[in-house]
Structure 1
Amino acid sequence: MANYKKEMLESEMKKIITRGFSELKDPRIKDKMININFVRLSGDKSYLDVYVSSLDEDVDTIIDVLNNAKGMFRTLIAKNIDIYKAPEIRFHKDEGIEASIRINQLLETLKEKRSEDDE
């Protein structure tokens, strides 16, 4: 049952952080498509790791801006979820999408090479 509650907390925190993106005033992330791929709450609920990706090339800049604003996100969580202590938030770049794109490109290259060899 404890696992279920943890998953529910992660889901709610993800929603709150996503809504918080609209409150950020930093021009470096204005009009950027930011996606939270998944969140992971630590076992003692003191840390929330948020894995972010974006279609823009400057994901590292987006991560820096989000890490600078993590206090605002923590406050939003504290105000909207009734928990003893709001977790410390850490934003990370999600490398999964980039790895998928690289694998797809490699497969396409191999496919082209194979078709050239067959000719």
Structure 2
Amino acid sequence: MRKNSIKNTRINGEVQKELSNIIRGEIKDPRINPLTSVVAVEVAPDLKTCKAYISVLGDEKSQQDTIKGLKSAEGYIRTMLAKSINLRNTPQITFILDQSIEYGVKMSKMIDDVTKDIADKTEE
């Protein structure tokens, strides 16, 4: 199976949807920020491993605590994933902190500041 096959893309989407449901509704760990979202999921073609890119709205400590909480609950998450998705193998999940949304917001703010300065100079 090729890495970007239709089947693999469909599995990635399904795992992402179920992971976000599990994180949002099933886990009661206080370390996990309620504003946690699963940005992307990459399941290996052999269905043995999975990288889950997690975005957390909050400060650095909140982000680190959320990743620690998810890593400690990985066994439970994997069990719940196995119950909700019928795959040959339930993948071993690796949680990776994704800061692309935060980076995008920061860049957008910087662009707005520059364009505002240019607009102010043209009005003078």
Question: Do these two structures clear the TM 0.5 threshold for a shared fold by scoring above it?
Answer: yes
Separation in 1, partners of 2:68, 2:31: 10
Gapped regions of structure 2 (runs ≥ 5): none
How many residues align? The count is 118
Residue in structure 1 matched with residue 97 of structure 2 by the alignment:
93
Gapped regions of structure 1 (runs ≥ 5): none
- Give the secondary structure class of the aligned counterpart of 2:107: helix
* Alignment partner of 1:24 out of 24, 27, 31: 27
Query: Structure 1 length as normaliser, TM-score?
Result: 0.83
1:27-106 to structure 2, matched below 5 A, reads 27-29=30-32, 32-57=34-59, 58-106=62-110
Residue in structure 2 matched with residue 112 of structure 1 by the alignment:
116
Query: Structure 2 length as normaliser, TM-score?
Result: 0.80
Deviations 1:87-110 (A, max 9, x none): 110111122111111111111221
Note the aligned Cα RMSD (angstroms): 2.0
TM superposition shift of 1:79: 2.5
Separation in 1, partners of 2:83, 2:8: 18
